Structure 1
Amino acid sequence: MFQAQLTRKTFTRAVLATALTAMMPLASAFANPVTPYTPSAFKAAQAAGAPILIAIHADWCPTCKAQTPIIDRLAGDPKFAKLKIFRVDFDGQKPVVKEFGANMQSTLIVFKGTAEQGRSVGDTKEASIATLLGKAL
């Protein structure tokens, strides 16, 4: 009886440990969520002096689809824990796209408070996107 209980407890602990280990990569995905752009949220982040990424995104864009997991991975890095990420819908928010001076989707713009620190268009290299994000810190 004692051995059966011990085996059951050991098995349960092993299952829980495995489940928690499998979920660890997901924790970083939720650590720094991408927020749909609104002028008020953007201005609040600027006023707080936060590092900010504006991602001009289109769901149909293959380059944007390639950028998304890279940005998600980098956002999970503790270095970028305070980064505020705002997604601008290229098709649905044309006035905002124009306001940022973007000519196409897959444009990434970083701010440190109110000052633009850099931008890129069509970049899908993790190292250079990380360098761009670093300019906002």
Structure 2
Amino acid sequence: MSPTITRKSFNRAVLAAAVAALLPLSAALASTASPYTPAAFKAAQSAGEPVLIEIHADWCPTCKAQTPIIQRLTADPKFAKLKVFRVDFDGQKDVVKQFGATMQSTLIVFNGAAEKGRSVGDTKEASIASLLAKAL
């Protein structure tokens, strides 16, 4: 075998190992939110569960900043029972209007059927945590 082939094989193996090592990380960074459906939301409300409605747009930089914060917070056992539903700002305009949201990056918390708080454009972990706590 020539050294060039060996280097190529080695480089491919290193690249494959790096990709394999990053797969769990990419899964952890994936959204913990479920897509919003009226039935799932109503079921969570009927069960008296704490709920976060996340009005989200993939192109929105504020939404992108909120996502890892919400993921970190919902990984905390304190928020283990929180149901997170993501509303697509562009694709679910009727739902956005139903919630009275005027822009993406709106977070709304409920405890059962009662709205307990909302914020728009917030990217501070402490204040988002405070908002989520209102649902508990």
Normalization by structure 2: what TM-score? 0.78
Alignment partners' CA distance in 2, 1:48 and 1:86: 15
SS in 1 for 2:104: coil
What is the match of residue 117 of structure 1? 116
SS in 2 for 1:101: coil
1:102 maps to a residue whose letter is A
Matched, 1:65 2:64: yes
What is the match of residue 17 of structure 2? none
Matched, 1:100 2:99: yes
What is the match of residue 56 of structure 1? 55
2:71 maps to a residue whose letter is D
Count of matched residue positions in the alignment of Structure 1 and Structure 2: 112
State the identity as a percent. 79
SS in 2 for 1:55: strand
Alignment partners' CA distance in 1, 2:111 and 2:64: 25
Alignment partners' CA distance in 2, 1:33 and 1:119: 19
What is the match of residue 87 of structure 1? 86
Alignment partners' CA distance in 2, 1:125 and 1:33: 19
What is the match of residue 14 of structure 2? none
Alignment of 1:123-134 (within 5 A): 123-134=122-133
RMSD over equivalenced CA pairs, Å: 1.9
Post-superposition shift, 1:33?
2.8
Normalization by structure 1: what TM-score? 0.78
Q: Which runs of 5+ in 1 are unaligned?
A: 1-21
1:136 maps to a residue whose letter is A
Post-superposition shift, 1:88?
0.1
SS in 1 for 2:135: coil
SS in 1 for 2:69: helix
Segments of 4+ moved more than 2 angstroms = none
